[in-house]
């Protein structure tokens, strides 16, 4: 079980290892409303060995404590903080239902360096 502290809250996530962790763009999965990282276990297992992959338990879901996030914009900001905490700059994003909704706004709100 992996954890990272975001905004003072320990957040649980699952991680599958890839071939080359320093070069690969990890695949980051976000569950839908009421879901949890465990929903992505089979996908992570299939990707393991080829691609580094992560599945996040958003606050208030799965093994992550706290209050659930209140909307798409708040979720996008929170996931940006998660990626920053892990030092991830280039990622491939995947989401189910609510977990994929904010992908539509994020590229337009995130400055590129």
Take residue 106 and report the two structure tokens written for it: 């994020």
- Are 65 and 59 contacting, i.e. CB atoms less than 8 angstroms apart? yes
Instruction: Kindly tell me if the per-residue pLDDT of 21 is higher than 90.
Output: no
User: Which of residues 55 and 49 earns the better pLDDT score?
Assistant: 55
Interval 33-47: pLDDT, tens: 788 889 999 999 999
Instruction: Report the 10 Å Cβ neighbour count for 13.
Output: 22
Using alpha carbons only, how large is the chain's radius of gyration in Å? Answer: 13
What pTM was estimated for this model as a whole? 0.79
Instruction: Report the 10 Å Cβ neighbour count for 96.
Output: 15
Identify the CATH homologous superfamily for domain 2-109: Alpha/Beta hydrolase fold, catalytic domain (3.40.50.1820)
| DSSP 8-state secondary structure symbol assigned to residue 43 | H
Q: Where are the domains of the chain?
A: 2-109
- Are 71 and 90 contacting, i.e. CB atoms less than 8 angstroms apart? no
């Amino acid at each position: 079980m992996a954890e990272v502290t975001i905004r003072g809250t320990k957040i649980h996530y699952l991680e599958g290892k890839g071939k080359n962790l320093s070069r690969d763009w990890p695949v980051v999965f976000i569950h839908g409303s009421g879901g949890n990282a465990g929903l992505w276990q089979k996908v992570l297992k299939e990707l393991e060995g080829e691609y580094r992959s992560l599945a996040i338990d958003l606050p208030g879901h799965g093994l992550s404590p706290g209050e659930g996030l209140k909307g798409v914009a708040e979720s996008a900001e929170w996931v940006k903080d998660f990626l920053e905490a892990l030092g991830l700059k280039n990622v491939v994003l995947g989401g189910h239902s609510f977990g994929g909704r904010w992908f539509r706004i994020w590229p337009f709100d995130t400055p590129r360096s």
